[in-house]
Amino acid sequence: DGGITQSPKYLFRKEGQNVTLSCEQNLNHDAMYWYRQDPGQGLRLIYYSQIVNDFQKGDIAEGYSVSREKKESFPLTVTSAQKNPTAFYLCASSIVRGETQYFGPGTRLLVL
Amino acid sequence: GENVEQHPSTLSVQEGDSAVIKCTYSDSASNYFPWYKQELGKGPQLIIDIRSNVGEKKDQRIAVTLNKTAKHFSLHITETQPEDSAVYFCAASKGRGSTLGRLYFGRGTQLTVWP
């Protein structure tokens, strides 16, 4: 069963804490992406990666960090520097950059 | 960069009626235009896409049209059903492998189909 998985489904962050969102794909896609979605808004690009060990900032990268050590995995860390982290986070992948993107089920991050 | 505008932001139709969502884009180099459907609490799912070498594409009750000259593309849903209720996003891209080939998304349209 191929696809993109994200975990956890819900995540709670305490003030000053870093949290990491998991994204795994078994589609053999080279490119992976992270988006943030706020109520009533579209998808805003946080980071993307075209290939292993390479990643680029998107439109709203401040307060976030990523790594791409394996083709299948693209974890996103929400750092304490991100002052308004409450949002729905979506991971996506595509066979190469610019092609059709396929999305995971999302992680909802809430601040305690 | 590319700017994608989507209208309307909300759309309510009666079951069985048609629904049309329109998007415009700014960069004439864009050549790939996917549409996504997002149900509440879930990730977006691709429902149809079109490339700039064709003007129209159909898949059962869903169709997409593209006017490259005017730089706009539209999603048409016929014989709407309550399960079509969702948020729909359009997107544009300069295409496969391009160094500038990221997807730019519209802000979404909340479609509600009343029984």
Q: Do A96 and B96 touch (CB under 8 A)?
A: yes
CA dist B108 and B27 (Å) reads: 19
pLDDT band at B14 (very low <50, low <70, confident <90, very high): very high
- pLDDT at position B84 is 97
Of the candidates A111, A88, A107, A112, the one whose C-alpha atom is nearest the C-alpha of residue A20 is A107
* B83 vs A97, higher pLDDT: B83
Residue B20 pLDDT exceeds 90 = yes
* pLDDT greater than 60 at residue A110: yes
Decide if B3 touches A, using CB distance below 8 A.
no
Q: Is B33 on the interface with A (CB under 8 A)?
A: no
Q: What is the pLDDT of residue A44?
A: 93
Q: pLDDT tens digits, residue range A4-63?
A: 999 999 999 888 899 999 999 999 999 999 999 998 778 999 999 989 999 999 999 999
Contact residues on chain B for A108, CB-CB shorter than 8 A: 41
Q: Residue B89: its chain A contacts at CB < 8 A?
A: 42-43
Say what the pLDDT of residue A1 is.
54
